[in-house]
Amino acid sequence: MKKLKIAIIGGYGGMGKFFARIFKNEGFDVIITGPSEEKGRRVARELGVYYVRNNPDAAGDSDIVIVSVPISETINVIKEVAPHVKEGSLLMDVTSIKEKPCKAMEKFSRRGVEIIGTHPVFSHRVGTLEGQVFILTPIRGKKWLNWLKEFLNEHKVRVYESTPEEHDRIMAVVQGLTHFA
């Protein structure tokens, strides 16, 4: 496989930086985006990656596009970038809710774009993927799903698959239980 180009929309936030570091260390070309050019350029220099201010430009030029923004911004950012993701590429999110982001990715992207909702069930502060839990909610396509599973397995990640609806139902129960602990 050719050297992958990965765009992380919101790439200078905590989780975005975590994944930028992981992918950069694997030898991939990584582009991060974010609204503050000053912060974006500083973080890009720190990580040894590229910064682009324009989300659609970054999305349209990448093999994998990862939406890593606050939940309150996720749907709007998906609407902004999904139409620009090229066919044959992967569009994914990294949020703790799945149903609405997955529906938005499916609605606003081209048919030839593969879609996977993801929920990394850990903090960006862990420093490594090893031993962490990742929930995948595949929506469209198999090529990138197989690639992502293989990548995560190589990093000793515990991978689980779910539907977006089942994920959100289970997470609502789990998060509700924490209030009783």
Is pLDDT at 176 greater than 80 in this prediction? no
pLDDT tens for each residue of 113-129: 999 999 999 999 998 99
Q: How confident is the model at residue 181 (pLDDT cuts 50, 70, 90)?
A: low
Quote the pTM value. 0.95
pLDDT tens for each residue of 34-78: 999 999 999 999 999 999 999 999 999 999 999 999 999 999 999
User: 10 Å Cβ neighbour count for 109?
Assistant: 24
CA 147 centroid distance within chain: 14
Compute the average pLDDT of residues 16-43.
97
The per-residue pLDDT for 179 is: 67
How far, in Å, CA of 1 to CA of 47, rounded?
A: 24
Is pLDDT at 173 greater than 90 in this prediction? no
- N- to C-terminal Cα distance for the chain? 47
The per-residue pLDDT for 174 is: 79
The per-residue pLDDT for 153 is: 98
pLDDT tens for each residue of 76-91: 999 999 999 999 999 9
Q: Strand 5-9 vs strand 90-94: parallel, antiparallel, or unpaired?
A: unpaired
Is pLDDT at 1 greater than 70 in this prediction? no
Q: Output the average pLDDT for the chain.
A: 95
Is pLDDT at 178 greater than 80 in this prediction? no
Tell me which of 76 and 177 has the higher pLDDT: 76
How far, in Å, CA of 92 to CA of 52, rounded?
A: 19
Q: How confident is the model at residue 171 (pLDDT cuts 50, 70, 90)?
A: confident
Could you tell me the fold of the domain covering 5-177?
Rossmann fold (3.40.50)
